Structure formats: C-alpha cells, structure tokens
Structure 1
Amino acid sequence: MPHRENAVDDPDAMDSVGIPTGFNLVPPPGWDTIPLQSGTKEAIQRIVRASVAQLPVGFPKDDIPKARMQLVKELKQTVRKARDSDGLTLYLPVERVHGMLIPASLIASAPLASPSGSAKHESVLVDLARDAEEASARELDGTAAVRTLRKLPADPDRGIEVPSWRVQYTVPIPHSAPAKWLTFSFSTLLVPDMDTEFTETLVELFDAVMTTFRWSHT
C-alpha cells in the first residue's frame, strides 16, 4: 500500500524555516485510512463497499442492507471518538482474519501544542515516560520520541465493555515554536476469545508500522 501523506500545518508558513509540513506512514496490509478533516464520508463509503464484498458465500441477501447500515453506524461512532481525541487520520483493519475483523485501530493526532507553550521537547518526553506504566525511548525519522504502553480498564459508561491495550508514540515536530507534538495511538480490545499471543502480535505490528514514519517537507 502506498504512503499516506498527512498535513501537520500550513506549508507556506512552515517549510521556509525547515519545519515539516506533514508526515507519511505505511499502514499494515489489510488496513484502510479514514481522513478526519476532509474526505471522511467518501472513505467510509469505500470501506463499507469493500466489507460487503467480503461477506461469506451464503450470507442472506435480505440481511445485507442491515449489515451495511450497522457497519456505517459503527464507523461513524469510531470516527466521532477519533475526532474527540483530536484525531487527524484514522487507520482501521478492513480485511477479515478467520472470519472476523480485528478489534484494533490507530489514530494519528492533529498537532498538539504544549500546555505551557514554553516546555522543551526533552522535558515533555521525560515527563511522559515518568507517568507511563511502561515507556521507552524511540526515534522516528531522526527525531527523538517516546513510546508508552498502558492497559486501560473497561468503561461501560462510555460503551467500552472490555479492557484494552494502548500503545502511544509521541514525537515533537522539529523546529516548531512554540513546541508542537504528534501522537500515534494504537488500541486493541482484549476480547475473551482472543489469545494473548495474538494481541502481542498486533502490538508488534504497530511498532513495525511506526518504523515507516517519515517527515514530509513538501
């Protein structure tokens, strides 16, 4: 699958001082991309068409409209949650594995400014690592970043019935002033019939995806 380019700010204002204007990321095979600022509706329609085409042989024709409407509803809910998290781009698995869709997602955030407006990149990375259950230093296209791992409990009040793992990469946008950041948050539900090894494989897949990260200056 080709690289997906995502704008992080106004190119004319930023590229002249060496600040990246966007980033490229290669999603896993069998995943698709939903832009959250424009083109969202078209992306949802494309994913629904592809999903309906993957329905098993013998699936009742009379049930296809209901299945289509349910998928549209679920995708719109996922998009809404991603936007509430300042999402820029949403990546979702769209190809079934052993007859089921993988309960996982990846959200790339829109650029986030430091709350204080004056915090240095290094100090923010240190603070993130200190507050996380598990953290490690990483590098994304030559830029120091931090990877954190958290297990989140179920939250029935928000419609989250099972716990999940969340892996997040936080990377500063080089030369941005005031400091701005991108976050890439991968989440996978810990459903009862999914073994631990498969969940760990999904986390490793996300780490592999992040090695494809590249800044864009055009």
Structure 2
Amino acid sequence: MPAEQTVSGAHPASVVTGYRIILPNDWEQIPLRHGTEGALRRILDKAFIHIPAGSPPDRVNVFKRELDRRLRATVARAQESNALDLYLPMRSTSDVNLGASIVVSETLLPRHRGQAGAHSEPTDVALHLLSQDGVVNADLSSGELDGALAVRREYVAESDSGKGADLASRRVEYIVAVPDDPNRWFAAAFSAVGGGDPRDELADALVEWFDAVMATLRWGR
C-alpha cells in the first residue's frame, strides 16, 4: 500500500512537497493535521464489523469504548510532537495492534543567520536533531534514501507509564535531509515491543522490516 502525504508549507513545483513509502495492506495511515477524525472512524468501523454476531451487548460496548480510547490516546501522543502521520498495523481480525507504530514528522530549522544549522554540515545537523531528546547508548549510522542524506538511530526505550509506554520498546529513527532545502528534515520513527522483550527475535525481524520500508521512501514534487 503506497502511503503518501504532503509536507507542510507552500513550495515551488521543483521543491519536495511530500513523501511516499510502501507499506503492507494491514497498516493504516492516520493523518495528524487534517482528516484525523475521518481516519479514526474508518479504522474503528472496520474493527467493529468483525465483532461476532450474537456477542453480549455489554461486552461489545466495553470493547468498543476501550478500543476507541486506546486508539485516540495513541493519536494524541503523536500529535503532541506536531507530527504529520501515524501508521498502525491491523491484526488479521481487524483489531488495532498498538504494539508497533510509525510516526512521520517534519522539522523546519531556523533560516536566520547564526541559528543552528545555518552553516553546519548536514550530518552534523542530523546528529544535533537526534541528540535533543537526551537518548544515550544508541546505534548510529548514515547513508542515503532516494538520493538524500539519512541518519539512522536505533535504541531500546525503557517503559514509562507516564508517557503511555507500559512496556519497553525497540526504537528505530531515520532523519533525512529534504532535497533542495537544507532547512527541512523528514523524520520517521518506528516503535515495537516485539514479543514482550524489545531485544527478542521478533523485535529484530520488525526492525529489519522497517529498514526495508524506509528503503521505499520517495519524494513527491
């Protein structure tokens, strides 16, 4: 499933205005700035269709309320960072699996002389952006995605119930320089709990899968 989105701001036709990644059909896209409610209703309605006929109404209502609450809480946390899009996987039963997610965002650096990034090398800017949250003991690497510099960070985030993270998770983040504009950066953050241990084989497989997804990144103009 190609997932496409327009990046914020008005730009000339020759400048990047969006991105495209390819995801399996069981992943749902939730835009976080426009059209959020419609996407939420579509996902919830799809999940509710698969409730077995004849299920006790009281249990059905509890299930619907809890699914709605969990999904909206996940969206709200993503919106706090002013992200562009949230992607969530669907189980074969069409229940929403919140054990993994992808959050896509855009960073706009100050354009004024003397501000961070004004005369820095792109790799230094990327590392600066990634270091702002204080994460330590992360694996860092760099390369290119669709012709643009990309810096990759991988680490394990411990559980933090205050932030809605009841389990530790494996995190992989890509921050990519948007072509033709040194002040714009694309970021994609993947999170997965694996089989309950963020360092287990399932988590390893999911990380490999996300790296393959990021290899499909293409810019829209």
Shorter-chain TM-score range: 0.7 to 0.9
Determine the structure 2 residue equivalent to 1:164. Answer: 169
Deviates more, 1:185-194 or 1:39-48: 185-194
Query: In the alignment, what sits opposite 2:140?
Result: 135
Paired position in structure 2 for 1:186: 190
- Tell me the equivalent position of 1:214: 218
Change (3 A) 1:182 1:165: same
Q: 1:103 aligns with which of 92, 99, 106?
A: 99
SS of structure 1 residue aligned to 2:179? coil
What RMSD over aligned residues (CA atoms) do the two structures have, in Å?
2.8
- State the shift of 1:57 in Å: 6.9
Percent sequence identity is 33
More off after superposition, 149-158 vs 100-109: 100-109
2:88 is aligned to 92
Equivalent pair of 1:162/1:190 in contact (CA under 8 Å): no
Please state whether the residue corresponding to 1:203 is helix, strand or coil: helix
The answer for unaligned runs of 5 or more in structure 1 is none
Query: Quick check: 188-197 or 199-208, which moved more?
Result: 188-197
SS in 1 for 2:143: strand
* Alpha-carbon separation, structure 2, partners of 1:80 and 1:145: 27
2:160 corresponding residue in structure 1: 155
Residue deviations 1:51-80 (CA, integer Å, cap 9, x gap):
122345774343222211211111111111
State whether residues 8 and 111 of structure 1, in contact with CA within 8 Å, keep that contact through their aligned partners in structure 2.
Answer: no
| CA distance in structure 2 between the partners assigned to 1:192 and 1:209 by the alignment | 23
Corresponding residue SS for 1:137: strand
TM-score of the pair, normalised by structure 1: 0.84
Matched, 1:9 2:8: yes
> Is there any run of 5+ residues in structure 2 with no aligned partner, and where?
none
Partner of 1:196: 200
Structure 1 segment 10-159 matched on structure 2, within 5 A: 10-11=9-10, 13-15=11-13, 18-55=14-51, 59-96=55-92, 101=97, 103-113=99-109, 116-118=116-118, 119-125=120-126, 127=128, 128=130, 133-159=138-164
Normalized per residue, the structure richer in helix is 1
Q: How many residues align?
A: 212
TM-score, L = length of structure 2: 0.83
Deviations 1:7-66 (A, max 9, x none): 11334x333xx3201111122331100000111001001101111223457743432222
